[in-house]
């Protein structure tokens, strides 16, 4: 069954109830109108209903809709000649492991019967130590169109999250034989939470660059939260102030993207909140924003060699490289590396007034392509000169 959300009409106060199945057909139900479910619980586990508090406070006068089992096993009634009963029960309200899960149940006779079951009921939590409650069994008001049958309020004590069980033991009376039934109910993770935060890109960015922060909320053990999300909020903070950006929400998950972080250091955190869960704040993610730098100016270079053309082996060849910006009158600074084709020759040479000189002294017989490479600076972009061809002969 797909979980649904209901509200009783005509009452201002409501009580959230988790059902496991339909109530018995002989119990009259209050008018209920389906509404969208805003509190998803594991599919197929339970239903949510809202019951008027006025009805609950007058249970001896008018029975509310009875919850039935999610999954249960009946123990056969003893062969005493007495009538048999049907047991339905379910957990309702908001609860977590280590707390108290409210239980409502009904003991109804199997037709034909005119009397309501009386006597003792035990609700046993199938947990370590088998905590047991002995609730009061109250008869339905048959004059109001209910019954015959009796109901009870009790509680289960779940020790951990997940599907848990409790057993209802009806001890019988002079008209009805004892019976037992075991019920499943679902316990969500929580209420403790842990919020984590990541940034992409992380570390250092440039002013105006887009960055996305992602927050995820789990329980303290890192397990997905699967309980009521009423009032869920995830807020991002930049140095303690709300972070402005494009925020997208999911189930216990949110992202925010911004390109407006100012130059400087930003300490980003995310904080989660929900009505039935503990709030938590993520560890700090630090982002450093650097100012934009101007693009390096393009540079043009020329290379002259002397002597040029053909030279005898052993002749020194002097190369002069000059570099200047393609636009403007600034003087290019930095270093130049000289090459014989792709092979570095000597150490890099500092530019003086945009010029660097190097002498090739060990050119072997053959053809050589002499090149100068300007290594660049943050202000000027690196570049190569066109090669100069020198032929060395014997």
299-393: what CATH class?
Answer: mainly beta
Q: Which residues contact 314 (CB under 8 A, 6 or more apart)?
A: none
Binned at pLDDT 50, 70 and 90, residue 81 comes out as: low
Residue 374 CB: number of other CB atoms within 10 A? 25
**Among the four given CATH numbers 3.30.70.2740, 3.10.150.10, 1.10.1740.10, 2.60.40.10, the one describing domain 194-290:** 2.60.40.10
- Tokens encoding 295: 């693009």
Q: Quick one: average pLDDT of 75-100?
A: 81
Same fold, 194-290 and 299-393: yes
Segment among 48-62, 96-110, 329-343 with least mean pLDDT: 48-62
Q: Which residues contact 333 (CB under 8 A, 6 or more apart)?
A: 351, 377, 379, 380
Q: How far apart are CA 127 and CA 108, in angstroms?
A: 27
Report the half-sphere exposure of 42 (CA within 13 A, side-chain side): 14
Segment among 8-12, 14-18, 272-276, 343-347 with least mean pLDDT: 8-12
pLDDT at 71: 40
Q: Does pLDDT of 6 surpass 70? A: no
Pairing of β 179-187 and β 72-75: antiparallel
Q: How far apart are CA 192 and CA 220, in angstroms?
A: 6
Name the DSSP letter for residue 148. Answer: S
Binned at pLDDT 50, 70 and 90, residue 58 comes out as: very low
Q: Which residues contact 60 (CB under 8 A, 6 or more apart)?
A: 138, 141
pLDDT at 100: 94
pLDDT at 144: 74
- Tokens encoding 250: 């999911």
Pairing of β 388-393 and β 309-312: parallel
Write out pLDDT tens, residues 347-363. 999 999 999 999 999 99
Q: Does pLDDT of 315 surpass 80? A: yes
pLDDT at 8: 27
Q: Is pTM, for the whole model, over 0.75? A: no
End-to-end C-alpha distance for the chain, whole angstroms: 97
Q: How far apart are CA 64 and CA 61, in angstroms?
A: 10
Q: Does pLDDT of 7 surpass 50? A: no
- Tokens encoding 43: 């599919």
Segment among 34-43, 86-95, 221-230 with least mean pLDDT: 34-43
Q: Which residues contact 343 (CB under 8 A, 6 or more apart)?
A: none
Question: By C-alpha distance, which of 79, 56, 54 is closest to 66?
Answer: 56
pLDDT at 328: 87
Segment among 70-84, 247-261, 274-288 with least mean pLDDT: 70-84
5-187: what CATH class?
Answer: mainly beta
Segment among 31-35, 226-230, 375-379 with least mean pLDDT: 31-35
Are the beta carbons of 301 and 314 closer than 8 angstroms?
no
Residue ranges of the domains in the chain?
5-187, 194-290, 299-393
Q: Does pLDDT of 77 surpass 70? A: no
Q: Does pLDDT of 26 surpass 50? A: no
List, as one string, the DSSP characters of 268-290: EEEEEEETTEEEEEPPPEEEEEE
Binned at pLDDT 50, 70 and 90, residue 56 comes out as: very low
pLDDT at 394: 87
What average pLDDT does the structure give for the chain?
Answer: 82
Q: Quick one: average pLDDT of 231-244?
A: 96
Question: By C-alpha distance, which of 172, 77, 184 is closest to 121?
Answer: 172
Write out pLDDT tens, residues 169-210. 999 999 999 999 999 999 999 999 999 999 999 999 999 999
List, as one string, the DSSP characters of 224-261: BP-S--TT-EEEEEETTEEPPSEEEEETTEEEEEES-P
Name the DSSP letter for residue 12. Answer: S
pLDDT at 112: 77
């Amino acid at each position: 069954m797909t979980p649904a959300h209901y509200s009783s009409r005509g009452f201002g106060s409501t009580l959230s109830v988790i059902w496991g199945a339909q109530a018995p057909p002989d119990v009259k139900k209050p008018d209920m109108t389906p509404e969208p479910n805003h509190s998803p619980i594991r599919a197929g586990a339970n239903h949510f209903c809202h019951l008027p508090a006025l009805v609950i406070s007058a249970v001896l006068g008018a029975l509310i809709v009875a919850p039935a089992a999610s999954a249960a096993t009946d123990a056969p009634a003893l062969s005493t000649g007495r009538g048999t009963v049907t047991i339905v029960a379910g957990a309702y309200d908001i609860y977590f492991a280590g707390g108290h899960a409210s239980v409502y149940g009904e003991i109804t006779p199997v037709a034909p019967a005119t009397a309501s079951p009386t006597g003792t009921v035990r609700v046993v939590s199938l947990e370590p130590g088998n905590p047991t409650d002995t609730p009061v069994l109250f008869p339905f008001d048959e004059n109001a169109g209910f019954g015959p049958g009796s109901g009870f309020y009790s509680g289960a004590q779940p020790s951990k999250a997940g599907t848990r069980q409790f057993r209802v033991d009806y001890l019988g009376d002079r008209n009805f034989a004892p019976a037992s039934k075991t019920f499943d109910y679902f316990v969500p993770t929580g209420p403790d939470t842990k919020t984590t935060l990541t940034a992409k890109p992380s570390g250092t960015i440039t002013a105006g660059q887009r960055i996305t922060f992602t927050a995820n909320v789990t329980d303290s053990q890192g397990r997905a939260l699967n309980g009521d999300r009423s009032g869920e909020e995830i807020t991002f903070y930049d140095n303690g102030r709300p972070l402005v950006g494009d925020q997208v929400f999911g189930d216990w998950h949110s992202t925010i993207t911004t390109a407006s972080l100012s130059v400087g250091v930003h300490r980003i955190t995310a904080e989660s909140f929900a009505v039935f869960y503990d709030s938590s704040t993520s560890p700090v993610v630090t982002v450093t924003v650097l100012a934009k730098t101007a693009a390096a100016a393009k540079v043009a270079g020329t290379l002259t060699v002397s002597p040029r053309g053909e030279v005898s082996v052993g002749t020194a060849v002097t190369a002069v490289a000059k570099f200047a910006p393609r636009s403007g009158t600034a003087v290019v600074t930095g270093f130049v590396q000289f090459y014989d084709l792709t092979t570095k020759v000597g150490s890099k040479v500092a530019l003086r007034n945009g010029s660097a000189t190097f002498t090739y002294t060990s050119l072997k017989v053959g053809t050589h392509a002499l090149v100068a490479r300007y290594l660049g600076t943050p202000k000027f972009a690196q570049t190569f000169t066109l090669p100069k061809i020198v032929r060395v002969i014997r």
